Structure 1
């Protein structure tokens, strides 16, 4: 016997409530760990006598590290799939601080760490500024289908680009700037179900772990909030790389160098 409309509605409501509760717990967890990960060393962590103890940072980081997809065919990623360090970036093309990171910090990370095989960067579309943000996210994904994601990313984050908006005509202009070869295919991909599904996948992942602002990052599971200076990322990558290397690798390297 099929459930009545009222029972189906009740079940759906309970499911939504459980999902919301799970997201809230994840948000608190990531928020605490993110704040502690990016706070100055001489700044004490905020505590409350009535608050439940936060999970240990290493335990949370291990779970968040599992979000690295390491898919060899990922069009929205740069670097080797087996790189010891994976930086996951949750960003919005209308976010000014995301643009600052893209222009001022990311190129240095690519040059220093991606090119030597240490780092892999995996992009997650996380639009939070409305319809234009979502359209730009789908357009970036569509450009990636033709191996032009990096070029579209650079064009969309160029200084002053977001002020021009991300209407359909502007997205086509950005695709031309990025050198997307087949603009008809670009239009179709941008409007297709696959683009919407890819965007939903990224968004649900971000919401599930409590991402509430952009840019937000994970470096082998360690949260970094905001467009931090290059030194903050360099330190996190160095630490993650050291932890990812097998024990004794450093000694072996040192002996080999003698």
Structure 2
């Protein structure tokens, strides 16, 4: 520090300049540090060219879970489809029995009854059983010597009618078995389809839950990213405020230094003037 600085405030100016440079350097470094930290935080959340972030991991996890659910659903539907198909032969086998049964009990009117009679007479074993029964009646009548008589004719009609009645009732009972087979098949198919529908609903519910979970996870991550953005702004604002306060203080110190230098200079000038006035070359003569 030179004597001249005492009167000009040069030392204060130098210090103020150095302080301002230090403050600006600190502002720059602090800003860079905040941006670096913010960038790293955003990379962790949203990912970057160097790797995946939480957002991508959440999406990837959702995709894997959706794929697993879809695969399981496909397997379940395949098994249920096989189980349902297993009842189809029962449906096919018993389906004709249902219509024929309704014909046989008269539910389909005269036309249905005619069809039932024709179907009954065409049933396997009907003609054989009738031939056997009538042959036995004829042999019995011949043995009695009355094959062409009224009694023989009545026996033949009675036997034929009785055999038809008995056989037709058995025919209806057999049809009932076919109807039961059809009902079992239909119920099995219905149960299978109902289960398939339940599996489809469960699949939809699972996908809905996964989608909701993904949405919540993404919303949380994006919220954290917004929080980082807001925090960056707040920290930048605090950094700028602190730097501004430091610069103001530095300027105040510079102003005080310059004021002090001015006072020193003015004091020196006043002192010189007073000394000049007090000087008397003729004093003591």
Same fold (TM over 0.5): no
Q: What band does the TM-score fall into relative to the shorter chain?
A: under 0.3
Larger radius of gyration: 2
Structure having the higher helix fraction is: 2
TM-score computed with the length of structure 2 as normaliser:
0.19
State the structure with bigger RCO (CA 8 A, min sep 6), 1 or 2: 2
Structure having the higher strand fraction is: 1
